[in-house]
């Protein structure tokens, strides 16, 4: 039987790269989003609002996916609201899909906030987990919308009989525009502004992140693990961390990124220097850069998410991620982190997103 994929959140970093990989591997692929624009070639667009069950029912009436890949979330003012709406989105989706009785496997992408806590209590002193982060670590005693999403999948799996997998990437590096969490593109845009203005590419984060070990997740290696878990019998019904497979220190990588953009850099200097504060008045500058270099997007807010980069780079601990669960079951893909950043930067330049 031919695999039929439904990629939910198909316009984001994770979803768009996954959809592209599925098409490459010969899957019949649908991409669902509220505004499914600029999807990879050969991906069939589906427009629906996950919080509106009638919208979903109408959009999915004649769609019979065998595999569902959920790569989406919404951000609200409080974690209680995040829990409510993100859990409801998954419940609505899986209840509507159950009506066609086609789903064999559901894969859910969450992240390291599973271990580090929700936005309201993110990586706070006194609640810091042991690292490397391991899949068997217990849930934190906080409301967390990742837990609500997981529980919605588990409940639907028990009701409808499909298998499942949960995937927990670190910071995802890949191309997407308008994504809420986009460290790679944010740094590329910031470095481009630094070059245009002759300013230093200044480290915004903590001493622990500057000097400690870290890792990230290339969108392509995440896509590979998603497909592997959904098609490998031994991997089903499990939770998996997913990172590139190497570790680095930002005090090693930051100068290399600066060199790629041909700018001077400045490292950690005794305090956190918020990138969100640094970039808050740069819209006019970016518009000038976009006009000068004929870039495709002059809206800084659509390209950069400095608030999330501050969360990642400002953590008071080093963060590394153990991949025991998938390694023991045969997933052995590897990706160089330095190459992940350079490949993204080249793609952004080729597509005239940065100069």
Q: Which residues are catalytic?
A: 113, 146
Q: Of 259, 263, 278, nearest to 205 (Cα)?
A: 278
Contact 225, 166 (CB under 8 A): no
Q: Rounded to an integer, what distance in angstroms lies between the CA atom of residue 103 and that of residue 68?
A: 7
Q: Of 237, 209, 235, nearest to 224 (Cα)?
A: 235
What are φ and ψ of residue 112, in 5° steps?
-75, -5
Instruction: Name 284's Cβ contacts closer than 8 Å, sequence gap at least 6.
Output: none
Location of structure tokens 């300013």: 199
The length of the chain is: 355
Q: Rounded to an integer, what distance in angstroms lies between the CA atom of residue 323 and that of residue 169?
A: 10
Helical H segments across the chain, by residue range = 13-24, 53-60, 79-98, 113-116, 145-160, 183-197, 207-211, 219-231, 250-260, 275-279, 283-293, 300-303, 306-313, 324-328, 337-350
Cis peptide preceding 132, ω within 30 of 0: yes
Q: Of 125, 186, 239, 213, nearest to 353 (Cα)?
A: 186
Location of structure tokens 């098409």: 23
Q: Rounded to an integer, what distance in angstroms lies between the CA atom of residue 189 and that of residue 286?
A: 8
């Amino acid at each position: 039987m031919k695999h039929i994929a439904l990629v939910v959140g198909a316009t984001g970093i994770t979803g768009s790269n996954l959809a592209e990989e599925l098409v490459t591997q010969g899957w019949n692929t649908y991409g669902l989003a509220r505004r499914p624009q600029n999807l990879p070639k050969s991906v069939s667009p589906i427009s629906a609002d996950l919080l509106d069950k009638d919208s979903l029912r109408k959009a999915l009436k004649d769609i019979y996916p065998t595999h569902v890949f959920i790569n989406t979330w919404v951000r609200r003012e409080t974690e209680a609201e995040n829990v409510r709406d993100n859990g409801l989105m998954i419940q609505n989706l899986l209840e509507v899909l159950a009506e066609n009785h086609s789903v064999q496997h559901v894969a859910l992408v969450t992240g390291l906030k599973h271990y580090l806590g929700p936005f309201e209590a993110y990586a706070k002193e006194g609640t810091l987990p042991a690292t490397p982060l391991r899949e068997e670590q217990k849930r934190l005693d906080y409301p967390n919308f990742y837990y609500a999403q997981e529980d919605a999948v588990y409940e639907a799996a028990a009701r409808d009989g499909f298998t499942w997998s949960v995937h927990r990437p670190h910071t995802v590096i890949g191309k997407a525009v308008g994504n809420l969490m986009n460290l790679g593109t944010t740094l590329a845009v910031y470095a481009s502004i630094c070059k245009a203005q002759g300013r230093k590419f200044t480290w915004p984060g903590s001493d622990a992140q500057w000097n400690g070990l870290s890792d990230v997740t290339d969108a392509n290696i995440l896509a590979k693990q998603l497909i592997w878990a959904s098609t490998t019998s031994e991997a089903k019904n499990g939770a998996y961390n997913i990172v590139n497979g190497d570790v680095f220190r930002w005090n090693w990588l930051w100068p290399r990124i600066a060199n790629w953009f041909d700018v001077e850099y400045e490292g950690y200097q005794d305090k956190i220097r918020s990138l969100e504060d640094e970039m808050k008045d740069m819209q006019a500058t970016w518009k000038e850069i976009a006009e000068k270099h004929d870039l495709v997007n002059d809206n800084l807010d659509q390209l950069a998410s400095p608030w999330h980069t501050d969360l990642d780079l400002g953590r008071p601990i080093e963060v590394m991620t153990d991949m025991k669960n998938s390694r023991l079951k045969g997933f052995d893909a590897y990706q160089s982190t330095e190459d992940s950043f350079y490949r993204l930067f080249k793609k952004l330049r080729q597509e005239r997103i940065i100069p």
